[in-house]
């Protein structure tokens, strides 16, 4: 696993194969890493068939408000920009948020309210599910 610039260094070590490692990692996790920024600014964006040597799987974990972390998948396949990044559930002492941090739950609720206002039935059911789990303090 690599955090921030360390993630960029690990990614490049694996991508270029230089220097040669004595092992082949099965998975690379980067957290809060600007790999996407470095690939983009260096005009070194991998093509759709890109894979890390040895079949190493790559997971890029970031917080949407992190000014250093960037998504990688929209660089490789432009249509993926339209998809929201996958959220990672967390343990929480606030069980009413459905396992998500409050900022993620509120973001989802805002998106759902927008589609609900447009009259989409699925969004109405999603909104009721989300609101039903939020404890409101009226006092």
- At 57 the three-state DSSP class reads strand
Which H/E stretch holds residue 105? helix 102-117
Catalytic entry in 4, 33, 44, 49: 4
How many Cβ atoms from other residues are within 10 Å of residue 20's Cβ? 6
CB 112, CB 123: distance < 8 Å: yes
How many Cβ atoms from other residues are within 10 Å of residue 60's Cβ? 20
41, β-bridge pairs: none
Residue 4 annotated in active site:
yes
- At 59 the three-state DSSP class reads strand
The C-alpha atoms of residue 24 and residue 40 are separated, in whole angstroms, by 26
Encoded tokens for 2: 């690599």
- What residue has token string 């917080």? 63
Q: What residues are labeled active site?
A: 4
């Amino acid at each position: 696993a690599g955090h921030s610039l360390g993630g960029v260094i690990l990614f490049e070590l694996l991508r270029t194969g230089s220097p040669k490692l004595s092992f082949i990692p099965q998975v690379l996790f980067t957290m809060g890493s600007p790999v996407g920024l470095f690939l983009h600014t260096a005009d070194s964006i991998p093509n759709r068939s890109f894979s890390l040597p040895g079949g190493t799987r790559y997971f890029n974990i970031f917080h949407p408000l992190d000014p250093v972390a960037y998504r990688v998948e929209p660089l490789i396949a432009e249509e993926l920009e339209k998809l929201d990044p996958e959220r990672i559930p967390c343990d929480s002492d606030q069980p009413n948020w459905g396992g998500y941090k409050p900022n993620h739950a509120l973001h989802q609720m805002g998106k759902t309210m927008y589609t609900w206002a447009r009259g989409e039935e699925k969004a109405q059911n999603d909104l009721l599910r989300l609101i039903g789990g939020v404890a409101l303090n009226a006092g």
